[in-house]
Amino acid sequence: MKDVLTPLEMKATDKNTQYNHIPTLVLMENAGSKIADYIINNFPEKKKVSIYAGTGGNGGDGFVIARHLLNHGYKVRLFLLSKPENIKNDDSKINYESIKIIAQTDKNLKLSIITDSTQIQPDNSDIIVDAILGTGVNGKLRQPISGAVDTINYSPAIVVSVDVPSGLNPENGQVADKTVVAHTTLTLHKMKTGLLKAQKTYVGEINVLDIGIPKVSEEYVGQGDLLKLKKPKTDSHKGQNGSVLIVGSNPDYIGAVVFAANACLTQLVDLVYIVAPENSANIIKQYNPEFIVRGVEGKILTMDAFDTIKELSDKVDAILIGSGSGVEDETSDLFNEIVSSIKKPFVIDADALKLVSKDLLNENIIVTPHRQEFNKLFGVDVPKKLEDKIGLLSELSQEYGVTILLKDVVDVITCVDDYKLNKTGNQGMTIGGTGDLLAGLTVALATKHNPFEAAYIASFILGCAADKVLDEKGFNYGIEDILNQLKK
């Protein structure tokens, strides 16, 4: 797992924690109490604190910080830089209602609602806590936030920023307008990419605080990871939302390509091209008019298909090979030539796993084996213990640069520098065709995502669909039921 997260990865981790039945309100409480403890332990003599709070989760942290500092005898001035009705975060709303009651009863807390920059006065507190924007910055700062940033920076106080200094881009460390200049940045859970890239004078000393997010929220795929899915833009046109090429099928395994292609369409790709032997192609065309099918001469895939495949590869964003293709030597020659000469993201599935040389694997490739296919491709058995599987697959990903999606009771997905586990799905998925659906989902996502993200998100989506079908029908379900669920 990564030691440094992007803002999106952090949001996904937060939501995964909620998915794992730990309320985000608990995380906010942990964050606020840990930051208050830091201030108490590091600045015991400085008892006058100003907290500038925004309307998002960062502001909610500020409300919690205020409550804990009051319990330790601090005098706190809390500035909410907006009307209370503009507080967006549900957890922040709860903590604001609490701090509002405390302000009516505790003379050491002064709560001010700031809606105009003229209301902001010079600040001579001992410590200023910047809980304004955190990871929510986007472009030029508006008033009264802009004025608050100026006041903070002109103050002689020690400035402590929560998560990321307000105004600093948390992803790339750039400053589009202005930023709080922090003496200390207390970032939550893990380091953020923007803090490492930022000018040191903006972020000051960086400390990472543990707020109780469990390992499972990063190690296992969860609903939070679906935040990473890229949605079609409102002004996009045909071809801009992904195009896929599927190369496969022989007369005995026509359904494999059809299942994979239909799974692609559930992920909103614009175009699905299919290359298959002529006899198969004529049947595949009848399944869905959205498929763009090219038949090539012969009953199996041979080098005669290469020119057609090469031509179509220039039109697509990702390629899937192996679905129902058979394992003939002529097909092996074709697949190896495709992988070695076409520089596109590839998903290698099913029969292709038995045909493509492992020496051709690279960073653009996702392989999707079950245990037996894994043994055939890499020449080693899958270990029984989960930690041993993770270790072996990680080593192989590093050696070949490839993303591996091992289909198992717990799916293991590895890339060169990371891994994910997926526990969605059930034993009803042993029916034929589920692997083809997974391959189709993966190649569709690979048109818009890096191979690692495409693989682990596809694994999660398919497992969730199968689990929903199981809840509705029990184990008496088929491949079409899963496909229909994917379309919802």
Q: Is the pLDDT of residue 225 over 90?
A: yes
Average confidence (pLDDT) over 347-374: 97
CATH topology of domain 224-486: UDP-N-acetylmuramoyl-L-alanine:D-glutamate ligase (3.40.1190)
Mind listing the pLDDT tens digit for each residue in 309-327?
999 999 999 999 999 999 9
Q: What is the pLDDT of residue 136?
A: 63
CATH code for residues 4-219: 3.40.50.10260
Distance CA 262, CA 441 (A): 9
pLDDT, one tens digit per residue, over 362-385 is 999 999 999 999 999 999 999 999
Q: Per-residue pLDDT for 236 more than 80?
A: no
Interatomic CA distance for residues 201 and 198, integer angstroms: 8
The whole-number pLDDT of residue 60 equals 98
How much of the chain exceeds pLDDT 70, in percent? 99
Per residue in 25-74, pLDDT (tens digit) is 999 999 999 999 999 999 988 889 999 999 999 999 999 999 999 999 99
Whether the pTM exceeds 0.85: the reply is yes
State residue 394's pLDDT score: 98
Under the banding of pLDDT at 50, 70 and 90, the label for residue 241 is confident
Mean pLDDT of 126-148: 89
Mean pLDDT of the chain: 95
Confidence bin at 470 (pLDDT 50/70/90)? very high
What ranges do the domains of the chain cover? Answer: 4-219, 224-486
pLDDT at residue number 252:
87
Given a cut of 80, is residue 234 above it in pLDDT? no
Is the pLDDT confidence value at 139 over 80?
no
What would the pLDDT profile of 79-121 be if each residue is shown by its tens digit?
999 999 999 899 999 999 999 999 999 999 999 999 998 999 9
* pLDDT digit string, tens, across residues 432-457: 999 999 999 999 999 999 999 999 99
Q: Which two tokens stand for residue 39?
A: 């201030």
- Report the pLDDT value the prediction gives residue 179, as an integer from 0 to 100: 96
pLDDT at 270: 94
